[in-house]
Amino acid sequence: MVWSRGAAKSGTRRKVRRLIPIPATPFPQSNLPAFPQDLRIPRACPLRRLFLGDAARALLLLSTNRSIGDTEYTATGDVGITRRDPMAMLPFCGYNMADYFQHWLDIGKRIPHPPKIFHVNWFRKGADGKYLWPGFGENVRVLKWILERVEGTGKAEETPIGFVPTREALTLDGLHLTPETLRDLFRVEADDWELDLADIREFFDKFGDRLPAPMREEYEGVVRRFQESIPAF
């Protein structure tokens, strides 16, 4: 779908699971404002990047592996508590979630050019309780690096959980961010992940031997990389 400023139709798509099933016979789509009018056109749009909001990570992170699930705050639960709900499907999945994970891993193997996965966190706070990132009006700076990274030009440095931009790679002209703020924005340290990793292990243990092996292996790899990143005294 091609969209331009001033167009009559919205360029956005609501979450697919919000749409009703498409029946085999025609029906008046005008009665469903959320129904994409071009959904029946037999063509596809290539995906080159995916964005996942994540409150536990740095400002911007390029994931190195697709075997790690994401979290969402969709179903009813305690406010401020991380809910292990990959793709927000726990309330909707009618079979074992471990098999659901394996389904997506199998799909991934069939994609010749899978999209890169980026985690963004606009809400990381400093020691004073204030947000480190200036605000949504500056998010295009992050998107610019993401596009550059997809094209193979965005510079990055590796961390135990993925790649973050180098300080020179992110366009920061006019923001006047201090070196300390930049360090906190992109900080990836073992101490910050200790509780999160323990919570992930508890979540994975619920599935026992049914959990796909690549997910367990990637988890153990993350733990190992964090352990190797801690300086020896």
pLDDT at 28: 56
Which whole number is the average pLDDT over 138-167?
A: 91
Q: Is 60 exceeded by the pLDDT of residue 225?
A: yes
C-alpha 127: how far from chain center: 25
As a whole number of angstroms, the distance between CA 82 and CA 185 comes to 20
> CA 117, CA 127: separation in Å to the nearest integer?
29
d(CA 2, CA 11): 8
CA end-to-end distance (rounded Å), the chain: 57
Structure tokens at 36: 């994409």
Mean pLDDT of the chain: 77
Average pLDDT over residues 85-102: 84
At 35 the pLDDT is 61
Residue 116 phi/psi, 5° resolution? Answer: -75, 145
* Phi, psi for 51 (deg, rounded to 5): -115, 130
Q: What domains lie within the chain, and their CATH numbers?
A: 49-67+87-188 (3.90.228.20)
pLDDT the model gives residue 60: 63
Q: In what order do the strands lie in the sheet with 162-165?
A: 49-53, 116-120, 60-62, 162-165, 156-159
CA 110 to the chain's CA centroid: 21
- 204-213 long-range Cβ contacts below 8 angstroms, 24+ apart: 207/96, 207/97, 207/98, 210/96, 210/98, 210/99, 211/98, 211/101, 212/67, 212/98, 212/101, 212/102, 212/105
User: 120 pLDDT band (50/70/90 cuts)?
Assistant: confident
**Residue 65 near residue 97, CB atoms below 8 Å:** no
Report pLDDT digits (tens) over 46-72: 666 565 555 555 566 656 555 554 444
Kindly tell me if the per-residue pLDDT of 27 is higher than 70.
Answer: no
Return d(Cα 190, Cα 231) in angstroms, integer. Answer: 11
111-115, 150-154, 209-213: least confident range:
111-115
Higher-pLDDT residue of 102 and 49 is 102
Q: Would you place residue 20 in the very low, low, confident or very high pLDDT band (cuts 50, 70, 90)?
A: very low
Rounded to an integer, the average pLDDT of 181-200 is 90
- The region of weakest confidence among 33-47, 143-157, 190-204 is 33-47
CB 124 within 8 A of CB 59: yes
